[in-house]
A and B are shown apart, each in its own frame.
Chain A
């Protein structure tokens, strides 16, 4: 085995090693890739689209967010680093991770440990990476950073179960872990890696400053909707109402949009909150029954589930409560089914106090 020491002694030039960095778009993966890049390693990035990524979607949908910068943070990170970025759609395969996590969930419906194993495995198994002679994988994990997946005892599980074994390098906390192959072989200098641990973000902020990175993304709970308590509650509600745990990409997109109100177990309303959401929900009119107010300005509402005539009337009364006619005696609504046939009805808007708190998902 070539040790780091012997390489330093002989001063033999090494061939440039290549590493694939898992890029989420957050600060940690940016720093991890940068640390390795600084050591002369050729780095390229991979970013995975699970369907639950916070990136872009809600900003794209909501008009009130229109003024915010709509950059994709993973792309921004790649550009800062000057590396290529390969984005992989894993939303279909990812369902099994969300529905059946072998290692269980975190605080919400976040299967962080299984997710990380899956992603590293994808990076490892990715034929392109091997064909192009990549030597190892980099992640921005930090011991103790995330309560479910990033603990000292879970680090070996990820390395082992992903199949990456000791070709998985975590530059930000490497000094707290056993030396990996890239360190033992002298591809990277362990002394120039880091020993971050715990939930404090201070060491990362200092390192970012050292590298001159500013304006990086810092989404709370990482870049995934599944770590969000409100989102997880809506997903759990969907499974409960359907009596089975399954979802389609459209379901998880719609959970990001509008007010979700379930007055009865068999159906729920998705009520848009502003013009951007209205436009987005309009794209689903061929898949759902929809309600919109005719006599007054108001939101577009989709009905999800199974419902009878009385249920539609109840839904229309709730929808009217969010329209410009909420204080009117009567509001006229148009109800249209997914095939395009529609009818008009007059209803009394439901008083605000009658929309029960527990209906809000």
Chain B
């Protein structure tokens, strides 16, 4: 199991979702992807995308206008 970080700062939806989707494709099951975003739209879009595609959002954290998701493939 490994953890990788994906920087999606300044990208507007749906780009952070697309980057997340493509990054997860490269990971193995149970690997963790940390995604850092600035578009508040991701607060809705990334968890929705994960729900419909069977990935689990472990945590969502908002720090200094940045949103950090931990996603388990």
Interface residue ranges, A against B (CB under 8 Å): 47, 49, 53, 55-57, 59-61, 66, 69-72, 74-76, 78-79, 82-89, 253, 283
Q: Which residues of B contact A72 (CB under 8 A)?
A: 13-14, 17, 41, 44-45, 48
The 10 tightest CB contacts between A and B, nearest first, are A56-B13, A75-B48, A70-B41, A72-B45, A60-B41, A78-B52, A89-B18, A60-B39, A60-B12, A56-B41
Contact across chains for A85 and B53 when beta carbons are under 8 A apart:
yes
A29 to B11, CA, bound (A): 26
What would be 28 A-B contacts, judged by CB atoms less than 8 Å apart? A47-B14, A49-B15, A53-B14, A55-B13, A56-B12, A56-B13, A56-B14, A60-B12, A60-B13, A66-B40, A69-B44, A71-B44, A71-B45, A72-B14, A72-B17, A72-B44, A72-B45, A72-B48, A75-B17, A75-B45, A75-B52, A82-B52, A85-B49, A85-B52, A87-B14, A87-B49, A88-B18, A253-B12
Total A-B pairs, Cβ < 8 A:
70
Contact across chains for B21 and A87 when beta carbons are under 8 A apart:
yes
Interface residue ranges, B against A (CB under 8 Å): 10, 12-15, 17-18, 21, 39-41, 43-45, 48-49, 51-54
Task: A59-B41, A72-B14 given; name 14 further pairs at CB < 8 Å.
Answer: A49-B15, A60-B39, A70-B43, A72-B41, A75-B45, A76-B48, A79-B48, A82-B52, A83-B52, A84-B52, A85-B52, A87-B14, A87-B21, A87-B49
Query: What's the nearest-Cβ distance from chain A to residue B9, in Å?
Result: 10
B interface SS class: helix
Which residue from chain A places its CB closest to the CB of B49 in the assembled complex? A75
Query: What's the nearest-Cβ distance from chain B to residue A313, in Å?
Result: 31
Known: A72-B17, A253-B12. A84 touches B53 (CB 8 A): yes
Which residue from chain A places its CB closest to the CB of B53 in the assembled complex? A84
Query: What's the nearest-Cβ distance from chain B to residue A157, in Å?
Result: 29
Q: Which residues of A contact B51 (CB under 8 A)?
A: 79
User: Which of the listed residues A83, A86, A253 has the most CB atoms from chain B within 10 Å of its own CB?
Assistant: A86
Q: Which residues of A contact B44 (CB under 8 A)?
A: 69-72
A53 to B14, CA, bound (A): 9
Query: What's the nearest-Cβ distance from chain B to residue A87, in Å?
Result: 5
Query: What's the nearest-Cβ distance from chain B to residue A77, in Å?
Result: 10
Q: Which residues of B contact A59 (CB under 8 A)?
A: 41
